[in-house]
Amino acid sequence: MDVNCATLLFGAVLVLGIAVFCCCLCAERPDQPAESPEQRVARALAARAEATLAAQAAGPPVLRPLPYFPYAAHGGVAAECSICLEPLRQWQLCSEVPTCRHVFHRECLGAWARSNGSCPMCRAKIIVPGSSDGVAVAVADDVV
């Protein structure tokens, strides 16, 4: 009986080994072929484009323009726009950050406000007059 038990045990181990081998072989070869690097890049780009289109469909936030005024220098003090580093010239159109009253060229502050929500000098929050926060603004002639 020792030979029969040993043969039976050997046969069971052999069948079990073959079954494990087949399972491992099938696990390495899924039904779908492996994705190539090009396919992964294409899928990532498609997902990014889809997200961009969804964001554009929602529409850009409506930005109210900041008030502007002709710059009038007082006392001969030369002021400059700290965004573009160009001087503020007499009667040039300028805007100010309502909360801190720092003055910049109209175009410079408009472009800055579209990408940043704070003053370029002191980081005070830019709140447009007449917005939901209801901040009233008095226009300064020469505040930097």
DSSP state, residue 5: H
Beta bridge partners of 141: none
Q: How far apart are CA 59 and CA 1, in angstroms?
A: 84
Work out the number of other CB atoms within 10 angstroms of the CB of residue 82: 16
Q: CA 46, 48, 51 angle in degrees (round to 5)? A: 110
| CB contact at 8 A, 96 and 111 | no
How many percent of the chain have pLDDT more than 70? 72
pLDDT tens, position by position, 78-137:
689 999 999 998 889 999 898 898 999 999 998 888 888 889 999 998 887 665 544 434
Q: Which domains does the chain have, with CATH numbers?
A: 2-58 (no CATH), 63-144 (3.30.40.10)
Work out the number of other CB atoms within 10 angstroms of the CB of residue 96: 23
| Summary mean pLDDT of the chain | 76
**12-21, 54-63, 78-87: which range is least confident on average?**
54-63
Tell me the pTM.
0.47
Q: CA 78, 129, 83 angle in degrees (round to 5)? A: 35
When pLDDT is cut at 50, 70 and 90, the band that residue 65 belongs to is: confident
pLDDT tens, position by position, 5-14:
888 888 888 8
Q: Quick one: pLDDT at residue 106?
A: 92
The mean pLDDT value for 43-68 works out to 69
